[in-house]
Amino acid sequence: MCGIVGYVGPEAASPRLLDGLRRLEYRGYDSAGLAVHDGSGLHVARSVGRLAALEARLADSPLAGSVGVGHTRWATHGAPSEANAHPHLSPDGRIAVVHNGIIENYRELREELAAAGHRFQSETDTETLPHLIQREVADGAASGLDAIAAALRKARGAYALGILLAGEPEVVYAARLGSPLIVGVGEGETYIASDVPAIVNRVRKVIYLEDGQIARLTAAGVEVFDLDGRPAPFEVKDVTVSAESADRAGFETFMLKEIHEQPRILRDLLHQHVDADGRILLPDLHLDEATLKGLDHIFAVACGTAFHAAMYGKILIEHLTSLRVDIELASEFRYRRPKVDGRTLLLAVSQSGETADTLASVRMAHSRGCRVVSICNVHDSSLVRECDGVLYTQAGPEIGVASTKAYTTQLLSFVLLALHLARLRGDLEEPEIRRRLQALRAVPNAIHYVLERKDAIERIADKHHDGPSSLYLGRRFNVPTALEGALKNKEISYQHAEGYAAGEMKHGPIALIHEYLPVVCICTRTEDEVYDKMVSNLREVEARHGRIIALATDGDRAIAEVAEDVIFVPETLEEFSPLVNVVALQLLAYFAAKARGTDIDKPRNLAKSVTVE
């Protein structure tokens, strides 16, 4: 949720830190701050609100020095305020700490320190850390590293930390436990960051710190230690993300850019996993043929948009194979007694691979003996490291807080998995699989076609954007599409939106329908009576004077007679239609948000990755 950047090198630290923090703005935050060592001591600047406020403050009173740490905060403990903003200082002002995560035992630690005379300036859990480190120094720790290690051994919870010590003017310390943190290794300069995009324009080599590691960075290089201060092994890896992919590439927002990237990314993902002979290759799942054949139960867990992808995965896998699939929100799964064991394959779906509830579910499933694999976008994320295998969605960095390309790549990943399972287990005949692969190859073009109609979608969004509420309806494969369309709308336009299975309408939501309510009906053609049922639902909305915005298959004039507005999309096999339909709904939400003047890439109260409960 929060963002961390740190720098040691020959250049002025503040501009580097601000540049990195700007690249993390998409994570969502409510205050920001920097600490810089100017050779004689530590200096701090903090402010509430967007980064621009901190920049203005630094323009008035610059912080000199070429060693520093910066932070953007998304409040958990203590309201957004200057006092609660990071960095936090020790009472003697000689230790500065920036922190992502939660120190769970901070109350006990604070009481203990307060009893020893420590006075605190903030309400945060983080502030206990510089106090603890100062105490270790006072108690005679042999070095700065020893003081930090001793303090961290007393902290419970999760952290990614950037630490400056006044006594070590050319060093940045970093530490990780349960919250992601990377070290960037450049030519004569080093960085820390909570996420690769923060420093992707600066370095091409990174170290992914492991839980329980402390790094000591100087301009010359990096040393890594464990929490007992002993040297720890580490691996320097190449950055796989390009600097350009973290830029807007001329689009007015990251979200719009990411919506437009979908045809290319999906095509690439398909090429990567389906060879010229139609074989489906998923080697990183680390699931051999015998395991896949022997499976009888899959349990998928996820949060938010990723959960909608899991819903689709359940419908599709059960449609194409003999497998039973259960799904559950990770935040619920982890606190229940779900029926999973050594015969269950747990599938964790996540864009970031850092979502706290999803990670906790994985740990719980592992402890029950499940085999656990993930569908994940971020390489080397905590989730990937904790799972037995992975299917990377390869969407590239997703910067817009509202998930778009991550969702469609998750859907495609489920398609690949379902077809792979159906083939191995003999659930589908080969011609049936080939027919589907053929249909799948047409999906990126169909999405491209929807993108080309974005002006028409914008006109519809402009017309309907100002109401207080809207309803989204779909059936079968497109129930998750309805939920996801509604989620996109509420996330970025702040318009209340409900997603429903259309068959449920008569059981409640129909009471909402009136002459001003936009009702988005996903009514693309199906091969059976589901389409007719959906048309009946449309008629029911019409009869109550709801304002129907229909998603219909090209050439379906009958729908145009009932609906007030129609978004036409190309004909696609129903099983794969969610990949195409959701893009139209992403655009609809996007243009509604634009018309309502919201901050689309950084919607209020939301963070890109929810690394705390």
Task: Tell me the closest approach of the beta carbon of residue 122 to ligand M6R, in angstroms.
Answer: 27
What's the min distance (Å) between Cβ of 576 and ligand M6R? 21
* Residue 125 within binding range of ligand M6R, rule CB under 6 A: no
Which 3 state secondary structure label does DSSP give 599? coil
Contact of 281 with 275, CB cutoff 8 Å: yes
Write the interaction track for ligand M6R spanning residues 326-355; mark x where CB under 6 A is met and - where it is not.
------------------------xxx--x
Residues 554, 294: Cα–Cα separation, whole Å: 42
Residues 6+ apart with CB under 8 A from 525: 531, 552, 553, 556, 571, 574
8 A C-beta contact, residue 396 and residue 261: yes
Joined tokens for residue 508: 């409640």
Instruction: Write the single-letter amino acid at 226.
Output: D
> Three-class SS of residue 571?
coil
Rg (CA), the chain: 26
Q: Is the CB of 83 or the CB of 606 nearer to ligand M6R?
A: 606
Instruction: List, in sequence order, every residue forming a beta bridge with 553; answer none if it has no partner.
Output: 569
Rule CB under 6 A: choose which of 122, 126, 403, 524 binds ligand M6R.
403
Selected binder of ligand M6R within 224, 609, 611, 612 (CB under 6 A): 609
Rounded CA-CA distance 76/87 in Å is 15
Residue 38 sits at φ, ψ, to 5 deg, of -100, 15
In this chain, which of 124, 194, 305, 394 binds ligand M6R, going by CB under 6 A? 305
- Nearest in space to 13 (alpha carbons), one of 134, 136, 96, 120: 96
Q: For residue 562, with 0-12 CB atoms within 10 Å meaning exposed, 13-18 middle and 19 or more buried, which class applies? A: middle
Does 495 help bind ligand M6R (rule: CB under 6 A)? no
Asked if residue 303 binds ligand M6R (CB under 6 A), the reply is: yes
Region of 55-63, 210-218, 503-511, 604-612 interacting with ligand M6R (CB under 6 A): 604-612
Beta bridge partner(s), residue 153: none
We find the least distance from the C-beta atom of residue 37 to ligand M6R, in angstroms, to be 34
| Nearest distance in Å: CB 195, ligand M6R | 12
> Considering the complex, what minimum distance in angstroms separates the CB of residue 474 from ligand M6R?
18
408 binds ligand M6R, rule: CB under 6 A: no
Work out how close the CB of 304 gets to ligand M6R at its nearest, in angstroms, rounded to a whole number: 2
Contact between 401 and ligand M6R by CB under 6 A: the answer reads: yes
d(CA 522, CA 516): 19
Q: Which is nearer to ligand M6R, 134 or 377 (CB)?
A: 377
The residue type found at 509 is P
Of 350 and 493, nearer to ligand M6R (C-beta) is 350
Using rule CB under 6 A, residue 194 touches ligand M6R: no
Q: Any contact of residue 97 with ligand M6R (CB under 6 A)?
A: no
Whether omega before 87 lies within 30 degrees of 0, making that bond cis, reads yes
Which is closer to ligand M6R, CB of 6 or CB of 178?
178
Catalytically annotated residue among 2, 370, 376, 523 = 2
**Least gap, CB of 13 to ligand M6R (angstroms):** 30
Q: Is 374 in the site for ligand M6R (CB under 6 A)?
A: no
Task: Indicate the residue among 304 and 485 with the shorter CB distance to ligand M6R.
Answer: 304
Amino acid identity of residue 363, one-letter, is R
Amino acid at 365: A
Question: Is 601 an interacting residue with respect to ligand M6R (CB under 6 A)?
Answer: no
Query: Which residues, other chains included, contact 77 with Cβ-Cβ below 8 Å and sequence gap of 6+?
Result: 84, 102, 106, 123, 124, 125, 126
**Catalytic residue of the set 454, 488, 594, 608:** 608
| Residue 402 interacts with ligand M6R (CB under 6 A): yes or no | yes
Is 255 a binding residue for ligand M6R by CB under 6 A? The answer is: no
Q: How large is the angle between the packed helices 304-320 and 405-424, nearest 10 degrees? A: 20
Query: Per-residue contact track with ligand M6R, 271 to 290, x per CB under 6 A?
Result: --------------------
Neighbours of 80 (CB within 10 A): 14
How far apart CA 246 and CA 23 sit, in angstroms, is: 8
Choose one: 148-156, 161-169, 303-311, 555-563; the region binding ligand M6R (CB under 6 A). Answer: 303-311
Query: Of the ranges 186-194, 253-261, 395-403, 509-517, which one interacts with ligand M6R (CB under 6 A)?
Result: 395-403
293 is an active site residue: no
Q: Which is nearer to ligand M6R, 122 or 355 (CB)?
A: 355
Answer yes or no: are the C-beta atoms of 358 and 348 closer than 8 Å.
yes
Q: Which of these segments, 399-407, 447-455, 509-517, 548-556, binds ligand M6R (CB under 6 A)?
A: 399-407
Annotated catalytic residue 2? yes
Of 86-94, 220-228, 281-289, 396-404, the window that binds ligand M6R (rule: CB under 6 A) is 396-404
Give yes or no for residue 306 binding ligand M6R (CB under 6 A). Answer: yes
Residue in 491, 574, 575, 601 binding ligand M6R, rule: CB under 6 A: 491
Cβ-based neighbours of 179, under 8 Å, separated by 6 or more: 100, 101, 158, 159, 160, 194, 354, 611
The residue whose two tokens read 């989620």 is: 487
In the complex, residue closest to ligand M6R by CB: 304
**Which range touches ligand M6R (CB under 6 A), out of 133-141, 277-285, 400-408, 540-548?**
400-408
In the chain, the largest separation of any two C-alpha atoms, in whole Å, equals 82
Q: What is the size of the binding site for ligand M6R (CB under 6 A)?
A: 16
Beta bridge partners of 185: 190, 205
549 DSSP β-pair partners: 520, 565
Residues acting as catalytic residues = 2, 608
Residues near ligand M6R (CB under 6 A) are 303-306, 350-352, 355, 358, 401-403, 491, 606, 609-610
